[in-house]
Amino acid sequence: MDDFLLKISVMLVPGMLAITCHEVSHGYIAWHFGDPTARMLGRLTLNPLKHLDPIGTLMIFFIGIGWAKPVPVVFENLRNPKKDMIWVAAAGPITNLVLAALSALLLRGVVALESPDALSPATFIVEPLVLMLAFSVYINLLLSIFNMIPLPPLDGGRVLVGLLPYRQANAWSRLEPYGMLIIIVLVFFTNLFSYVISPLLGAAVHLLAGPQSGLVLGVTSLMMR
């Protein structure tokens, strides 16, 4: 029970913030390019309750990655659907990348200012903050990298559809009804994580967190037990 409460206290806030900002960014960019659907449905808010998916939230604690309810986007409302779709889809991963960079910067600063006195009152604030920032670096990078897998309905798949010529784009978009099944097979029955996602994730953590990359990976490993 203590381990589970520790996981909740460290993972919940950065996890919910990561997936909430990811979805809000989709809706905001869609609104910018002409589709007001998300705004009309009240989804352009950082209130996580508006975006909460119970199963997706629980998955943060069990597999280290989760999801929110997708923000609805009516691509036909976009002024230039094929081109604008690229920006709408890319907004989520880009937002997670920015959050990861900010978390890494704050993590470096907080660790540098941390008091060596374990009994200092500030320690009781700083240590939980360090753990949450470390996990925030990890979860945001993971969401950014995973969502850029070029298979619809993931964001990378929609970016690719927007970049391909019309004939190839139409052919690739037909994979969307089967996309999640393909992704599940790739994740659980191939070495996609071991050979593709994990190396990219490790390199990104080292790039952003620098001297604190070991802390990020250590905290994540502890939370995933």
| Secondary structure (H, E, C), 106-125 | HHHHHHHHCCCCCCCCCHHH
3-state helix, strand, coil in the chain (%, to 5): 75, 0, 25
Whether 163 is covered by a domain: the verdict is no
The number of folded domains in the chain is 1
Q: What is the pLDDT of residues 172-195, one digit of tens each?
A: 999 999 988 998 888 888 888 888
107/153 Cα distance (integer angstroms) = 33
| Higher pLDDT, residue 57 or 152 | 152
Residue 121 lies in a domain: yes
Is residue 183 a part of any domain in this protein? no
Q: Which of 81, 91, 65 is nearest to 201 (CA)?
A: 65
Cα(10)–Cα(134) distance, integer angstroms: 9
Where in the sequence numbering do the catalytic residues fall? 23
pLDDT digits (tens, 9 = 90+) for 92-135: 999 999 999 999 999 999 888 775 554 454 556 778 899 999 99
Which residue range forms the structural domain that includes residue 195?
A: 2-148+190-223
pTM of the model: 0.90
Query: What span, in angstroms and rounded, lies between the C-alpha atoms of 139 and 147?
Result: 12
Is 162 within a domain? no
Contact call for residues 136 and 103 (beta carbons, < 8 A)? yes
